[in-house]
Amino acid sequence: MSTTARTPPISRRAWWKKGLRKYAVVYLLLLIPVAVVFIFQYVPILGILMAFKDYKLKEGFWGIFTSPNVGLKHFRAVFASGAFYTALFNTLKLTTLKLLIVFPAPIIFALMLNEIRHKNYKRFVQTISTLPNFFSTITIFGIIQTLLSPSYGLVNMFLQSTGRDSIFFLGRPEWIRPLAVSWDVWQGTGWGAIVYLAVITGIDAELYEAAIIDGTSRFQSMARITLPGLTPAILLMFVFRIAGILDAGFEQMLVLYSTAVHSTAVTLDVFVLLRGVQDISGISFAAAVGLFRSAVTVILVLIANQISKKLGYVAVFD
């Protein structure tokens, strides 16, 4: 009776060494993005400590650890500041408007785009609608400045041609929120619709065929088949949207901000910048505001996630 020799099991340490030798180049390439993520995403988390310390910029990085502890002093200063509440309410007003207008825009656009039967035209519209997403914030702001200029802007030229006075849109506080919302709708609708269009392609085509046999119209098919099929994706995107309820768009509001529109344009992000960068002594104060915003965001995400789970739909966290 012949016996076959068995290969002795390789130890875990030898297995790791073999893998490292075999894929050494891959691991070296992987070190670069890992280092970038660690340096720019995880190391700044240490800045949270500044919210509980009397930190001075001259103390440098190690001052985060060596500065004297002050407990909740900066949080008390935050909640006693009228400017903080102004920034908070401005942020909530703007993000609520974006939730009501910007969030459903890609859904409606995807439903409309799905009804286009001419394939070439459908591709053309989808391509054109996604292009604004690749424009930088400064580029879009330059376009807005050109269109809304009081002297040579097309919008004000039209108003003047109808006998009306020109409007300095970027210098009027009441126009900042409509501009920010319109900006997001124009830039993000086409790109956001990609997710919903991908979900629509996964809906069983036999459902539409059965609906046609039953004599339902295209609008009824959209309401009874397409929209229910999109519900899990809508709820998932809603959870992510809730995560940004205190994020009004830092770059967008920074370029729209000026002292003339301070009353409506100062959001939490801009407020943190003004207190933490322009006022060097307010770095710890700004860190407290940032920590408060992060804590509220986590709580809202967990609540929205639990609601999604209770409704029986997909949840981000189990």
Encode burial over 55-82: b for 16+ CB neighbours within 10 A, e otherwise. Answer: beeeeeeebbeebeebeebbbebbeeee
- The confidence band for 314, taking pLDDT boundaries of 50, 70 and 90, is low
pLDDT at 1 over 50: no
Note whether residue 72 is domain-resident: no
Instruction: Based on the fold, state whether residues 175 and 264 are members of the same structural domain.
Output: yes
Total domain count for the chain?
Answer: 2
**Residues 22 and 143 both lie in one domain:** no
How much is the mean pLDDT over the chain? 85
53 three-class SS: strand
Cα separation, 23 vs 83, in Å, equals 55
Which candidate, 99, 105, 110, places its Cα nearest to that of 229?
Answer: 110
Give how far Cα 60 sits from Cα of 56, 64, 171, Å: 8, 8, 38
Q: Are residues 168 and 216 both part of a single domain?
A: yes
pLDDT at 18 over 80: no
Tell me, yes or no, whether 252 lies in a domain: yes
What is the torsional sign of CA 17, 18, 21, 23?
negative
CA distances from 254 to 59, 164, 241, 272, 292 (A): 28, 30, 21, 11, 20
Residues 224 and 258 in one domain: yes
For residue 69, the SS3 value is strand
* Parent domain of 51: 13-66
Tell me, what's the pLDDT at 275? 80
| Same domain, residue pair 98 and 234 | yes
- Statement to judge: residues 46 and 111 lie in one domain: no
Residue 202 lies in a domain: yes
Asked whether residue 315 is assigned to any structural domain, the reply reads no
**Could you tell me the CATH number of the domain that includes residue 290?**
1.10.3720.10
Whole-prediction pTM:
0.80
Mean pLDDT confidence for 120-141: 91
Question: Based on the domain organization, do 106 and 45 belong to the same domain?
Answer: no
